[in-house]
Structure 1
Amino acid sequence: MSFRFNFSSEELEPTENESNDSTAQSPIDKYDSLSSLFRFDKRPFVPPSELIPNNLNDILPSTLVAERVFFPTCEKSVLYKRHLSDVKFQLAQEDNLLETDYNGDTRILELTADSDIVQGVYEGGLKTWECAHDLVEFLSKNISNLDFEGKKILELGCGSSLPGIYILTTKNPFRIDFQDYNEQVLKLVTIPNILLNTLLCPKSEDFFNGTAEIDVPERPNLLDQVKKSRFFMGDWSGLTDIINLNSEQEKYDLIISSETIYNTDSLPKLYNVIKYSLKRPNGIALIAAKSIYFGVGGGVLPFRHLIEQDKVFGIKIFYNAEAHVKREILMLTFLDSFIQ
């Protein structure tokens, strides 16, 4: 199986150990074990759990404001997502509260006004990040090489869920599950976006000034569509216990994630979810990320170092050469079936 992302062969990263120059000096060279690579924050995190939607009355308003999402290198690929202003309007109306932070209850609306991310409280899921677009474009360019038919797929840190929804609407997977840190993100963004791209799919004539107001009818098949997926929320630590993967056959054929390696504290937890949730020997994980996240310390290098030290996965890396800030897609496959 071969993959390309509109890149020249010179832009492909060597496989997992070819790029390790033992003479190179790096800030991480001083660490001599995986456990010492990362510091763990002492603050509490939202524990993982499963969101089981039994009705949509407490999730969906009577109308959704949708916007089209275009992908420059894939002109035929168009997805729809809920407009952020519509999300904020619902939040203001319902006076929703986010999980308790360290000074009392904090409204998610106030958090998004001040910061993209508040570690352990809000992890940026309401915003659609650039690497989610990269991952959709990568998938669309390689769709003929990726066999999703009847497969189980998990999107970690899904947010607006564009990559997972692209697969959902393009192929016929057995099931796509979605995980985000915040319950509100799943309810306000992920689930509405799934419906906007399936049963509530807008028509081109519905759009005015870039948006369309879509009526949400009370139809049982809306809930039926949502129940085709499982939804998980909270921290990655302990997530595999909640998913309850008792056998290799119950694990995922593909795990996708974008913009989730920005914080070094959470890298081991993300990696462990991938490692213990991906089906052997042919499972694939695709991680889209910026090479470096300025100000927070995360990025591709520390994540690669963690993977290479563990010696479970091989890595193939694709670059988006046109990005202002270097962005990459990591393909992880088990070493005993490494894709050359």
Structure 2
Amino acid sequence: MSFRFNFSIDENENNEPDTHDKTDLQLHSPKHTRESTEKSKQTADTIADSSPRLGTDKQQDETPSKQKFCFKAAKEHNIPEDLNKILENKVMETVSDLYYVNMSVVEMACLDGADGEGIVSKSVSSHSDLIPGVYEGGLKIWECTFDLIDYFSEAEIQFTNKTVLDLGCGAGLLGIVALRGKAEKVHFQDYNSTVIDEITLPNAVANCMKAGNRMGSGDDKKTSKPPLKRRRKAECLPDMLTKCRFFSGEWSEVSQLLLSSNKPFSKYDLILTSETIYNPEYYGALHDTLAQLLDKNGCVYLASKAHYFGVGGGIYLFEKFIEERNVFRTSIVKIIDKGLQRCIMEMAFKDSS
């Protein structure tokens, strides 16, 4: 079951959304649906995914040699005072007790003119989930996101008082988990401004409002109900939301914006990123961004498939790239062998304590 934030939300008080099994998420329009027909094999160069789950296979018709890296200008997205406006006409669903907007509804709104970048119409017309330099997949929640969320719980990763960056955030679920873990501040970055405005910001607002209402009521059991009260425009932001900043643009441009900003900036204790290494042409920019923004004693948690068909990237190729740069030490801390092999990598500076 899903519910619509058409605000006011109190109309939905008795509509408690179902919590979806993460393996059955239907996160985007059927016109984007693809099922892998490859059989899984043992080597990284030949593994393929036969899973029907959506958001599981980043592929692109162009070969890597034809893809050009695009330096999309960076922009910070301010949080509007009227939080009702952010969630207006959004249909929200839940997974793992996290709110997220229904992507199909967002896509329909974008096709009706809500998408200033035109990424949805371009994605539909090209029958592609990735258009290098135009659209980088932020309208889906890719499955490695959930691998990383599971790992946070299994490894008891602590977010308390940490500064966190959700890099290539898409829906922003990794950053939202960090917020719930009492991070001091969480920044979200995605390549596309449409993704930040239509998906990341609404998800963060919905989850922060839910947390605020739950803490105010003193009842932690009502975790699957939406925030119930209309927040007036004059009220202050929920405490959790004041910890957040949102950015769009290419990685190196966002780095430059942060490092040259007049606003106080401290490097991140944790950088979280999922399915951002599908294209080897992006490895240099990603490596340099991590090196510039990570605190000297910080840590990166990266989730990826072993291999991405059509674009050529993957965890082992990226691991080799990092080793050659000789800046970070890496460790693959978890391997998931269901269908297409997936991995969790931990990175830290070689000279860190």
In the other structure, the counterpart of 1:90 is 109
In the alignment, is the contact (CA less than 8 A) between 1:165 and 1:194 conserved in 2?
Answer: yes
Q: Equivalent of 1:175, from 185, 192, 213?
A: 185
Secondary structure of the residue that 2:209 maps to in structure 1? coil
TM-score of the aligned structures, taking structure 1 as reference length: 0.73
Q: CA deviation at 1:163?
A: 1.3
Structure 1 counterpart of 2:7: none
In the superposition, relative to structure 1, how do residues 205 and 168 fare at CA in structure 2: closer, same or farther (>3 Å)? closer
Aligned partner (choices 111, 123, 135) of residue 111 of structure 1:
123
Specify the alignment match of 1:149 in structure 2: 160
> Given the superposition, is the C-alpha separation of residues 51 and 263 from structure 1 closer, same or farther in structure 2, using an over 3 Å criterion?
same
SS at 2:107 equivalent: helix
The CA deviation string for residues 288-339 of structure 1, in whole angstroms up to 9 with x for no partner, is 000100011111122112210121211110333342100011100122237x
Shift of 1:235: 0.9
**In the alignment, does 2:110 pair up with 1:60?**
no
SS of 1:60 mapped into structure 2 = helix
* Aligned position for 2:196: 186
* Equivalent residue letter for 1:151: K
Question: Could you state the TM-score of these two structures normalised by the residue count of structure 2?
Answer: 0.70
Change (3 A) 1:223 1:181: farther
Query: What's the % identity of the aligned pairs?
Result: 33
Which residue of the partner structure matches residue 332 of structure 1? 347
Q: One-letter code of the match for 1:191? A: L
Q: 1:264 to 1:213 in 2, by over 3 A?
A: same
Match among 222, 232, 244 for residue 229 of structure 1: 244
1:253-332 alignment, distance < 5 Å: 253-280=269-296, 282-332=297-347
Determine the structure 2 residue equivalent to 1:18.
none
Deviation at 1:53, TM superposition (A): 3.0
Distance 1:192 1:323 in 2: 32
When residues 235 and 244 of structure 1 are mapped into structure 2, their CA distance, relative to the original with a 3 A threshold, is: same
Contact between 1:96 and 1:107, CA under 8 Å: does it hold in 2?
Answer: no
Distance 1:200 1:321, change over 3 A: closer
CA distance in 1 between counterparts of 2:192 and 2:85 reads: 14
Distance 1:43 1:245 in 2: 23
Distance 2:248 2:84 in 1: 17
RMSD value over aligned CA atoms? 3.0
Q: CA deviation at 1:205?
A: 6.9
Task: Give yes or no for the alignment of 1:133 onto 2:146.
Answer: yes
Structure 2: gaps spanning 5 or more residues = 1-44, 46-63, 215-221
Q: Is the contact between residue 299 and residue 347 of structure 2 (CA under 8 Å) also seen in structure 1?
A: yes
Question: d(CA) in 2 for partners of 1:260 and 1:205?
Answer: 30
Unaligned runs of 5+ in 1: 1-25, 27-37, 71-77, 100-105, 207-211
**Amino acid in structure 1 at the alignment position of 2:331:** K
Amino acid in structure 1 at the alignment position of 2:165: L
Q: Aligned partner of 1:323: which letter?
A: K
The code of the aligned residue for 2:313 comes to G
Distance (Å, rounded) in 2 between the aligned partners of 1:240 and 1:330: 22
**Deviations for 1:213-235, whole angstroms, at most 9, x for unmatched residues?**
98864443447754421111111
CA contact (8 A) 2:84 2:231 kept: no
* 1:93-140 deviations in Å (ceiling 9; x for gaps): 4x12343xxxxxx45245257221111111110100000001100111
Q: Name the CA distance, whole Å, in 2 between partners of 1:154 and 1:277.
A: 9
Aligned to 2:42: none
Matched, 1:240 2:255: yes
Report how far residue 188 of structure 1 moved.
0.9
Summarize deviations over 1:144-202 as a string: whole Å, max 9, x none.
Answer: xx332221110110001111111111x21110000000111011111111122220469
Give the conservation status (yes or no) of the 8 Å contact 2:208–2:238: no
Structure 1 SS opposite 2:198: helix
**1:159 and 2:170 matched:** yes
Aligned positions, number: 278
1:319 counterpart SS class: strand
User: Counterpart of 2:321 in 1: which secondary structure?
Assistant: helix
User: Given the superposition, is the C-alpha separation of residues 228 and 299 from structure 1 closer, same or farther in structure 2, using an over 3 Å criterion?
Assistant: same
Residues 214 and 268 of structure 1: is their aligned pair in 2 closer, same or farther, counting only changes over 3 Å? farther
Structure 2 residue identity aligned to 1:166: V
Residues 200, 50 of structure 1: alpha-carbon distance in 2 compared, 3 angstrom cutoff: same
Q: Find the aligned partners of 1:86 and 1:80 in 2 and give their Cα distance.
A: 15
Is the Cα–Cα contact under 8 Å of residues 68 and 81 in structure 1 kept in the other structure?
yes
Post-superposition Cα deviations, 1:47-93, rounded to whole Å, max 9, x if no partner, equal 222222344579624343211213xxxxxxx2221111231243244
Give, in whole Å, the separation in 1 of the partners of 2:227 and 2:90: 6
